[in-house]
Amino acid sequence: MRLVDGLIAEDLVRPLPSVAPSGGRPRALLAFNGTSFSVIGIDLGGVKMFGTVADLSGNIQFEKYKSCKDTNSESLTCLFELIEELINAPRPETQRIRGIGIGAAGVTKNPEGVVEWAPSLGWRNLPLKKILEERYGLPVFVENDVNLAALGEYGFGSSKGASSLVCISIGTGIGSGIVINRAIYRGFHQAAGEIGYLLPDRNALKMKYHQFGALDTVASGSGIAESGKKRLIDLGFPVPEEFSAEYVFESAAKGQSWAIDVVADAIDYFSLAIASVIAVLDPEVIVLGGGVTKSSDGLIPPIIERLKDSLATLPRIEKSILGTRATVLGAIILVLDVTTEYISVNG
């Protein structure tokens, strides 16, 4: 009862009228009060940051994109400006800010909240949690962006409440977040989910990979674009000035054979990576997100076709319905779980 009293005192739950079941005493009912607090969620995308103010039920009350220069000090100043705008954004008069959850596209150290390496921001060993807590006087939690996206999918996506979920983001690079029983699995070195470093074949053995991993070079957005350029050059065709993975997918959809070959190769590599994830983790569901999945709506059926007869089990494989909001919605789950032991948004 003490736990319930504490949650009521915080206004996180509210009592409802008692219900008397047949043959028993009246039963007290409680309802989660998702509007009592808001959470500031931020997705640090490097040159473009995305921030939201949302209540605990995932209702976004304010959102803002902010373009920033990709240098150490200017990125940090840009983040300060975004947070101040989010803190001052209109929200219900009695609603308090429970904390700030930040997803960084790079290696983060938990629970210290240190961004060890974020190439797109120019940050190395930046004690971001400490800096922001001292500046704003609010609890701050810093996490890898794809880990937060996985929490967002778990809490608010089509796979809400799955016992185990892997969110794979395919964009400039490839990463994944692993959620098991509502908790992020980070691994011993806090590098679990860095599937961009999976070795796609034996040719990758003994090779050195620095900013991007072996799988990134052949199956990420940048890898697909590079493969497409090489294919055009080998065929003696001109390479358009504005060239991207999106252009490759569009060309494949138009029936251009060079692009069809590049896309087929990329899907083979995606499938091999997903097969490894399934074999090791046996998740209930895999959610695909990121810019490459937006470029190719037909990505999932060919992956399933390649895998369906080759594995002992095949989980549900779905496209994210949250899109760019997955990371900031994951911030709600992170802040709520760390600041309150007893609440389950999905309960």
In a shared domain, residues 232 and 183:
yes
25 shares its domain with 134: no
Least confident of 88-102, 112-126, 169-183, 251-265: 112-126
73 pLDDT exceeds 80? no
For residue 231 the two structure tokens come to: 């294919």
The overall average pLDDT reported for the chain is 87
Amino acid identity of residue 333, one-letter, is I
Same-domain pairing of 257 and 126 = no
Compute the distance between CA of residue 32 and CA of residue 340 in angstroms, rounded to an integer.
13
Confidence of residue 345 (pLDDT cuts 50, 70, 90): very low
Radius of gyration of the chain (CA): 22
More confident residue, 177 or 346: 177
Same domain, 184 and 304: yes
pLDDT classification of 75: cutoffs 50, 70, 90: confident
Are residue 251 and residue 109 in the same domain, yes or no?
A: no
The string of pLDDT tens digits covering residues 274-323 is 999 999 999 999 999 988 887 666 889 999 999 999 999 999 999 999 99
* 215 plus 269 within the same structural domain: yes
**Judgement on whether residues 239 and 313 belong to the same structural domain of the protein:** yes
Residue 346 falls inside a structural domain: no
Q: Does a structural domain hold residue 344?
A: no
Categorize the per-residue pLDDT at 343 as very low, low, confident or very high, splitting at 50, 70 and 90.
very low
Strand (E) or helix (H) holding 176: strand 174-180
Of the two residues 117 and 279, the one the predictor is more confident about is 279
Domain-embedded: residue 168: yes
Q: Is 345 inside any structural domain?
A: no
10 Å CB burial of residue 327 (0-12, 13-18, 19+) is: buried
The answer to whether residues 346 and 311 touch, using CB atoms and an 8 Å cutoff, is no
Q: For residue 72, what are the contacts with CB-CB under 8 A and spacing of at least 6?
A: 121, 122, 123, 126
Segment holding 330, helix H or strand E = helix 326-339
Distances (CA, A) of 243 to 218, 233, 248, 290: 16, 13, 8, 18
CATH code (residue 259): 3.30.420.40
In a domain, 197, yes or no: yes
Are 120 and 254 found together in one domain? no
- Which pLDDT value is given to residue 21? 57
Give the structural domain span for 25.
2-32
Is this model's pTM higher than 0.75 or not? yes
Does residue 75 sit in the same domain as residue 121? yes
When pLDDT is averaged across residues 129-143 and rounded to a whole number, the result is: 96
Over range 63-74, report the average pLDDT.
78
CA 23 to chain centre: 48
How do residues 184-204 score in pLDDT, each as one tens digit? 999 988 889 989 999 988 988
What CA–CA distance (Å, rounded) separates 262 from 296? 13
Q: Give the tens place of pLDDT for each residue, 89-113.
A: 999 888 999 999 999 987 888 889 9
168, 259: one domain: yes
- Give the angle subtended at the CA of 338 by the CAs of 333 and 343, to the nearest 5°: 65
293, part of any domain: yes
237 occurs within a structural domain: yes
Residue 49 lies in a domain: yes
Element (H or E) spanning 311, and its range?
Answer: none
Q: Are residues 98 and 230 in the same domain?
A: no
Choice among 10-24, 59-73, 156-170 with the minimum mean pLDDT? 10-24
Domain identity same for 147 and 177: no
List alpha helices for 61-190, DSSP H: 72-87, 128-136, 145-156
Number of domains in the chain: 3
